[in-house]
Structure 1
């Protein structure tokens, strides 16, 4: 380095400082994440038992579990994904393939990007005014619709990105064989992008499975096992919120156990989504 001119040495020093600061920032982030995970695992494991998966949420001072909340989370998440997936995929296909370059398409893409960053509590309030207040009761349907509104822009955006990666030569080859455009889309383009679209759907599931605020305004909570979609329904995020804020030790232990369950479920979904992306690459 002594043979380098002063300008080059100064650049090397600046680069070394920048790399060191970046490494320190990354280490701080990893340490904070490790501390959060360690706290979650150390406190959550103590509350895990077979009862957590087989019994409903208990009153204070009684034994119980989170079975009704786990069931409710699965039902609400599946309802949201079932509603959001066809709309998101079709909307993403239209914006990517048919409305490219048009003013309507650009406006729709901008609105979709705004929805991606919209606070979930605002969506919960909107669905509350739309589906809860007029019917006079909280319901699982309202909760599923709120989660669908949150998942919709994620699926829409991912579909646009995945379709943009499909080479135009595939479309041209199918068109040259005389296939109509709808067959080109369904049998060629969608098939080529199916793993990427599935990845977007899994990311949307991970995005909505931990939402609490919109469910407090829509499906609310239910201490009992309920399969009636027209009534309030328990979910893991709302039960965790309620139990963690309570002064009862048994409820707090169940809250840590629920947080551990939902965290590792989301982690598994993200790992699956990343594996699908790597497979596509």
Structure 2
């Protein structure tokens, strides 16, 4: 398999889409990986497997309608395998297998059947000290944008998923790219004050536009750099509630076709006003786990 990912929006040809099958029972509060899941466990509103399967199948149907080859993880019994983006990511012709939370190692094995067809020299496993998840890594042509957290209290945050060691390692892997890192706001308890990954508060769309939430960034000048990079008129600013609902976590099939959650009324209107075709799907149940469409898809090949 010849991988090719240069950016977030070129025409998609092949993708790994997670699965909600055999997702397992509702986790205990102490076993939750993020504050939003924890909130829904406590409230008794954690999503049901049957509802999440329906939501993911709706996405699969859209992808297949656009002639995208869709791979799914091998189903592991009673195991959450929804967020395929966490466990690996592709930049150019290389697949990087993420160093994720130890409890999630089996997720990597479930997609091994796909990336074992990639030439061995293009399969990258980073050193153990490099912590990274795909939701924090965004190739954007000459740039690689990476969300990180470098505070001394990094080990205290289960929501801090990508460290500075990983940023350095990715720069060394792709020396011809400009790696730009962004410090993200973290909270173990308040999902409205937590940017779990970069794609929870920012995402490019089309050729020159972006969705962004200012409070997701710890350093205001880094947020301002992104706004200036894309141009204020090309940026759609989302509110704290819209970030909580995961408005920046949509998914591009091409520069003009986007899969979005059907309840994102303000965003979807803006996208259509800017010439995008918006394929609306129900994904509000999956959003309860602090991830949405970008989190559950891992692109392999774009034109």
Q: TM class by shorter-chain length?
A: under 0.3
Name the larger-Rg structure: 1
Calculate the TM-score normalised by the size of structure 2: 0.24
Between Structure 1 and Structure 2, the one with more strand by share is: 2
